Amino acid sequence: MMSPAVLTRRAAPVLACIGLLAVWQIASLALKNDSFPTAVEAVRAIPDILGDKESLTNILDSLRRMAIGFGVAVLVSIPLGLLMGRSRTVAAFFNPLLMVIYPVPKAALMPIIMLWLGVGDVTKTLVIFLGVSLPVIYHSFEGAKAVEEKMLWSGAAMGLSPAQRLVRIVLPAALPEILTGCRTGLVLALITMITSEMIARQSGAGNILFNALDMGQYDTVFAMIIIVGAMGICLDAIFERIRARLVRWSEPQFDMPLSFS
């Protein structure tokens, strides 16, 4: 049996979603606008999209690009960020570079990248890669910088070489911070994925969405927004589970009884 408190906590997100859909439904009925379908109409369009083989292929293509862009970005950014955090020379070299790239919207680089690499997978994956890299580099950098010097000294006394200290002390010690960056990166991957497909239309979830918009199929537009949103929520929830498991040693204990009443 679940206690009422636990039950409420579990049910809360579901209730929030139902509430949101209800507000949408009422607003849509009240406004009576062609470009604002009701929630029921939008939800009804979802099975049509997911049941259509071409649409499904498009969505899976998007997810594949996102996974590759995110994966490569994480693999490159974590070592770079950690090195920057522990070596002033590396930081002095890359910091100005990143400061220039940081405020530029990655989608704004797309025209140039398209010019060089075309409108295919490579361009879109590269934009996702760029979007994910910066938060992951930044958080890895901050995490590595904050590693206690004495912890590294303790490792050095045990005979760990500088490279071993980076992998076996800096990496795990900075992991909570790194994973915070990865979580931001994951959401940015989704955003840049849709943006890239909006600019370079050809395939993908963003392509379905904006094609539907062009053709005035507003229920499909809203259904795609729900699908993309649900993808984001699911990916974030899965990632959060993995993250919590990996850094359990650093989490404050919320489940400690605060009172014994």
Under the rule (CB under 8 A), what is the footprint of another protein? Answer: 148, 150-151, 153-154, 156-160, 169, 172-173, 175, 247, 249-250
72 vs 160, which CB is nearer to another protein? Answer: 160
Q: How far is the CB of 160 from another protein (least distance, A)?
A: 6
Q: How far is the CB of 253 from another protein (least distance, A)?
A: 8
102 vs 153, which CB is nearer to another protein? Answer: 153
H-type alpha helices, the chain = 4-31, 39-51, 53-86, 88-101, 110-117, 121-145, 149-157, 162-165, 171-199, 205-214, 218-246
Amino acid at the residue 140: S
Q: How far is the CB of 244 from another protein (least distance, A)?
A: 14
Q: How far is the CB of 159 from another protein (least distance, A)?
A: 5
Distance CA 113, CA 196 (A): 11
- Cβ atoms of 224 and 212 within 8 Å: the answer is yes
Distance CA 151, CA 86 (A): 13
Q: How far is the CB of 233 from another protein (least distance, A)?
A: 29
Distance CA 183, CA 172 (A): 17
The Cα-based distances of 100 to 106, 191, 250 in angstroms read: 12, 21, 33
Q: What angle do CA 120, 122, 124 make, to 5 degrees?
A: 75
What is the chain's length? 261
119 vs 160, which CB is nearer to another protein? Answer: 160
Integer Rg of the chain from CA: 23
45 vs 174, which CB is nearer to another protein? Answer: 174
144 vs 173, which CB is nearer to another protein? Answer: 173
Q: How far is the CB of 150 from another protein (least distance, A)?
A: 4
Dump strand ranges (E) for the chain: none
The dihedrals phi and psi of 177, each to the nearest 5 degrees, come to -70, -40
Distance CA 233, CA 229 (A): 6
187 vs 247, which CB is nearer to another protein? Answer: 247
CB atoms within 10 A of CB 136: 28
53 vs 248, which CB is nearer to another protein? Answer: 248
The dihedrals phi and psi of 158, each to the nearest 5 degrees, come to -80, -5
Q: How far is the CB of 247 from another protein (least distance, A)?
A: 8
